[in-house]
């Protein structure tokens, strides 16, 4: 009897040992992770270094690069037509001398004077290059009316108006231009505000305005009337497969800028080649007037 009992216990022990070594649900091999460009539902579905980016209108997403690793440069891309005042001259010096001689005649041929001022002003320092754009400089109103550059000389620049009386009735003078009057802020472009019938430069006043301008529900109106889009990841600011040079820097979606002229040429022009012979694509320091380059993230 003892031998039978011992045999039974041995069989039970072997069965238990075999059961402990068998495969269980927890021992199944993990499913294959998705690689770049493959489908996913959550970031844990993607390989290391990738994140799951939702596909617009789709039920899932795609595994993409989650960290852009592009450092900000403080520069912007721009299409310029000059770097020096001399670049603004359209005709050879010989032609300029001829036009100047005609302009100095007793009759003062108006066409010759207009042509000289427009094409050869840089010979007298009246054509200058300002942030990549050719501009005319003046010292008095007569120079402006003679060159058809405007009626008034304001701050060395020919403008259409300097006072309200320079404009037709009902059209206020704003920044040297006769503009249509406004009756409400909605009549003005961007964040400009209607003040006493004039659209004047302004900035955002409320977070809701920034939500409307950026189409980002988390956008808020920061200091100096500038919209800020807060973020925690780069993917909240830009698309790694259609990159616009925005990234999450210090928890704000920020334009990272350019490093070289070639960066800008490839970004703005590509192979289209639509620039005129006098236009050039450059990477430059940010324009203090326009501020940061690029577009809204």
Q: Are 267 and 139 part of one and the same domain?
A: yes
Question: pTM of this prediction?
Answer: 0.60
191 within some domain: yes
Q: Are 62 and 207 part of one and the same domain?
A: no
Q: Are 212 and 236 part of one and the same domain?
A: yes
For residue 253, the cross-strand partners are 248
Predicted local confidence at residue 183, as pLDDT:
93
Round to the nearest angstrom and report the end-to-end CA distance of the chain.
Answer: 85
Predicted local confidence at residue 109, as pLDDT:
67
In angstroms and rounded to an integer, the radius of gyration of the C-alpha atoms of the chain is 34
Identify the domain containing residue 54 by its residue range.
33-66
Residues of the chain with pLDDT under 50: 4-6, 8, 12, 15, 19-20, 22-25, 28-29, 290-296
Total of domains in the chain: 2
Predicted local confidence at residue 294, as pLDDT:
44
Q: Are 140 and 275 part of one and the same domain?
A: yes
Please report the sign of the dihedral spanned by the C-alpha atoms of residue 119, residue 122, residue 124, residue 127: positive
Single out the residue of 268, 263, 228, 267 nearest to residue 249, CA to CA: 228
Predicted local confidence at residue 108, as pLDDT:
56
What is the four-CA torsion angle of 166, 172, 173, 174, rounded to 10 degrees? Answer: -170
| pLDDT tens figures, 21-37 | 544 445 544 567 889 88
């Amino acid at each position: 009897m003892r031998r039978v009992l011992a045999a039974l216990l041995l069989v039970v022990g072997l069965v238990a040992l075999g059961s402990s070594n068998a495969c269980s649900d927890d021992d199944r091999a993990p499913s294959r992770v998705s690689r770049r460009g493959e489908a996913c539902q959550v970031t844990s579905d993607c390989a290391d270094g990738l994140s799951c980016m939702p596909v617009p209108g789709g039920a899932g997403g795609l595994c993409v690069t989650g960290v852009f690793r592009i450092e900000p440069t403080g520069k912007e891309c721009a299409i310029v037509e000059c770097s020096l005042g001399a670049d603004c001259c359209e005709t050879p010096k010989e032609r300029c001398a001829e036009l100047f001689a005609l302009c100095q005649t007793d009759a003062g041929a108006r066409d010759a004077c207009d042509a000289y001022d427009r094409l050869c002003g840089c010979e007298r320092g009246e054509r200058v290059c300002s942030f990549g754009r050719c501009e005319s400089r003046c010292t008095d109103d007569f120079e402006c009316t003679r060159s058809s550059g405007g009626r008034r000389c304001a701050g060395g620049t020919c403008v259409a108006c300097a006072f309200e009386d320079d404009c037709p009735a009902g059209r206020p003078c704003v920044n040297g231009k006769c503009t249509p009057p406004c009756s409400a802020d909605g009549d003005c472009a961007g964040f400009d505000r209607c003040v006493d019938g004039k659209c004047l430069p302004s900035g955002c006043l409320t977070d809701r305005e920034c939500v409307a301008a950026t189409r980002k529900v988390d956008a808020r109106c920061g200091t100096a009337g500038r919209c800020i889009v807060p973020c925690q990841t780069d993917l909240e600011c830009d698309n790694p497969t259609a990159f616009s040079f925005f990234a999450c820097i210090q928890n704000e979606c920020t334009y990272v800028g350019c490093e070289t002229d070639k960066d800008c040429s490839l970004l703005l022009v590509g192979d289209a080649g639509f620039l005129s012979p006098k236009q050039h694509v450059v990477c430059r320091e940010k324009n203090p007037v326009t501020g940061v380059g690029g577009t809204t993230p």
